[in-house]
Amino acid sequence: MQWDKLLNCDRLNEAPKPFDEARNPFSIDFDRIIFSDSFRRLDRKTQVHPMRSNDNVHSRLPHSLEVSCVGRSLGTLVGARIEKLPEHMNPDRIGQIVQAACLAHDIGNPPFGHMGETIISEWFTTNGTKYFESLSESQKTDFTAFEGNAQALRIMTRLAMYKNDGGLRPTYAVIAAMMKYPWVKYNDDLKKYCAFRSESGILEDIAQKTGLAGEDGVYSRHPLAYLSEAADDICYSIIDLEDAYEMGILRYEEVRNLMNGICGAAEEKLSGKTPKEAIAYLRAIAINKCVGAVVDEFFENYGAIMDGSLGKYNLPENSVFAEPVKRIKDLSSEVIYQNSRKLMLEVGAYNVMSILLETFCEAVYDHVSEGKSKDRTNHIIKIMGDSAPAEGDGMYEALHKVTDYISGMTDNYATEMARQISGI
């Protein structure tokens, strides 16, 4: 892979334009994402804790903004150490590419976060037979293994802004840097992927324009995608601790001791600070240390990253912080993610999403497959608005429009709509 292709500033579905030094294309990508409806709705989508009542606890929106800040730092620091950057490129612009990619990394998440992905997948696995009659086996996996990363690519390149005409029309560099898993799902062992079958042609175009080597639909990761993933990894692993303290799930001493594993003993710096102030200070130090470790790890693996042989690799797995970060993640899995309030709300999320999926899938089935004109079906199709199946759509396209519509909902809106549909 070569940086002159990897940093391609041309846009999907647009003719190439001269590079604008005053307002470069990567900053435009960032602005387009910020002003999109899909990004704005992240404010009411679950990060870890559904239907949060404490406004200090993260939703997907502040998480995405924080990841973008860490990503900008990573990109800028890496850019400063790359020799012979292409014309018009400098370290700050590398930082802007990663920043925009990170900003959009969760834009395809459905209501209730990763639990929402699981619910959609399980519902179609159990109930999809009727709706899948005309679908190929590979098309079915778009629904039985629903993936928020693939929905993000669909939003960025198809649904937002210029609908069905390039979406946000991002630069090739930014969209490629966003794709942490640049392949479609092709076997049962592969849990994560970044493109539904419906966007496989778009994925191929991105891979060709950015020079991601590969064959049989499997491409190498864009080098900057390692930084996008690292930024996300750093933020959720460390900031989940801060949220857990805010919600009373973890004690101050537990959080301090875990963060000190990254920060080193910092007791003298915490003198006079309240527990909340101390955790915020430790969080900042921990993130800064992890950023430095990721940059070092990137260049230790630079050859394997650039020739595509590294594969899926979460930096910094070999750094001095690997063990303390693992301890944080283990505690999160055992305690934070198993919190009783969180689990109770997730059980409710199953009911909410199941009601919505059954209602809208049945309506589009009647509308597309049987041509029925029942009043209830007509009402539901009208509710879908611009997301409703178009004339000539088959069931594959229609089911994608159902998941487009439902996955675009906020937690609150999905809950209220399910309540109204149920007549409660």
Cis peptide before 316 (omega within 30 of 0): yes
SS3 state at 16: coil
pLDDT score of 373: 64
- Phi first, then psi, for residue 215 (nearest 5°) are -150, 165
pLDDT in tens, the chain (424 residues): 999 999 999 999 999 888 888 889 999 999 999 999 999 999 887 665 555 555 666 788 889 999 999 999 999 999 999 998 998 999 999 999 999 999 999 999 999 888 899 999 999 999 999 999 999 999 999 999 999 999 999 999 999 998 989 999 999 999 999 999 998 887 777 778 999 999 999 999 999 999 997 666 578 999 999 999 999 989 988 888 888 888 788 898 988 888 888 887 666 778 888 989 988 999 899 999 999 999 999 999 999 999 888 766 555 566 667 788 888 888 777 777 677 666 777 788 899 999 999 999 999 999 888 766 678 888 999 999 989 998 889 999 999 999 999 999 999 999 999 999 988 6
Q: How far apart are CA 371 and CA 16, in angstroms?
A: 43
pLDDT score of 375: 82
Tokens 């059954």 found at: 358
Q: How far apart are CA 363 and CA 292, in angstroms?
A: 52
**Chain centroid to CA 246:** 24
User: What number of helices (H) and strands (E) belong to the chain?
Assistant: 20, 2
Read off the pTM: 0.92
Q: Exposed/middle/buried for 281, CB within 10 Å: 0-12, 13-18, 19+?
A: middle
Q: In the 3-class helix/strand/coil scheme, how is 225-260 assigned residue by residue?
A: HHHHHHHHHHHHHHHHHHHHHHCCCCCHHHHHHHHH
Q: How far apart are CA 327 and CA 323, in angstroms?
A: 6
The token pair at 243 is 């949220």
pLDDT score of 46: 67
DSSP state, residue 149: H
